[in-house]
Amino acid sequence: MSTRVQVTSLAHVPGALPDGHQDAQGLALRLCERLSDRDSEGANALILADAAIDFAPAGVCGSFSEEGAKFFRDLISAFPDLRLTVHSVVADSETAVIEITVEGTQGADFLGIHNQEKHIDVDQAWVITAARGRITSIRAYWCQTQLYRRLGVKRLDQISITG
């Protein structure tokens, strides 16, 4: 079985594309800013309603309008001091891979995990694609065990029981 993959386009200057639209990198950075600003409406405006959302560690997969928007809303309300710090970006015109740390102190239940006012700091990588100035997909990678550990969850099949 071949494992060679198609190489995406070559050198690319991030920012605005020739057609004036924001590219994937610009949109990815703006999304992080808006989430850190607790601006869910502003974040939503960057993403197509039918964008494919894959936050598999949280069990959230589907269209942005059906799954992603609620996930961001819940994240913002559960962590009132939410902060996303971008460490690196690998990007071409259509795709940006951002490495980030998501930090915050729990202030409400999140993904079925009871609030114990614990702090999270979870390193993540998001693969974001864009077209015509809007985000068309987000696929996120992180370790849910790290999130559970920080929020006091002891068993993967009983996440509502914390200690």
Quick check: 52 binds other proteins (CB under 8 A)? no
What is the rounded distance in angstroms from the CA atom of residue 149 to the CA atom of residue 163? 10
Instruction: Decide if 42 contacts 31 (C-beta within 8 A).
Output: no
Residue 111 CA, distance from chain mean position: 15
Residue of 12, 38, 70, 134 that binds other proteins (CB under 8 A): 12
Quick check: 146 binds other proteins (CB under 8 A)? yes
Quick check: 15 binds other proteins (CB under 8 A)? no
The CB-of-62 to other proteins minimum distance in angstroms stands at 17
Quick check: 141 binds other proteins (CB under 8 A)? yes
Residue 37 CA, distance from chain mean position: 14
Give the residue from 140, 134, 130 showing the smallest Cα distance to 44: 134
Quick check: 18 binds other proteins (CB under 8 A)? no
What is the pairing mode between strands 95-105 and 47-55?
A: unpaired
Quick check: 99 binds other proteins (CB under 8 A)? yes
Which of these ranges, 9-17, 35-43, 66-74, 109-117, lies near other proteins under the rule CB under 8 A? 9-17
What is the rounded distance in angstroms from the CA atom of residue 106 to the CA atom of residue 151? 8
Using the minimum distance from each CB to other proteins, give the nearer residue, 119 or 154.
154
Give the residue from 75, 38, 81 showing the smallest Cα distance to 55: 75
Residue of 123, 131, 133, 134 that binds other proteins (CB under 8 A): 123
What is the pairing mode between strands 134-141 and 47-55?
A: parallel
- Residues with Cβ within 8 Å of 158's Cβ and at least 6 positions away in sequence, in order, are none
Residue of 64, 71, 79, 142 that binds other proteins (CB under 8 A): 142
Quick check: 61 binds other proteins (CB under 8 A)? no
Q: Which residues bind other proteins (CB under 8 A)?
A: 1, 3-8, 10-12, 56-57, 88, 90-92, 95, 97, 99, 123-125, 127, 139, 141-146, 148-149, 153-157
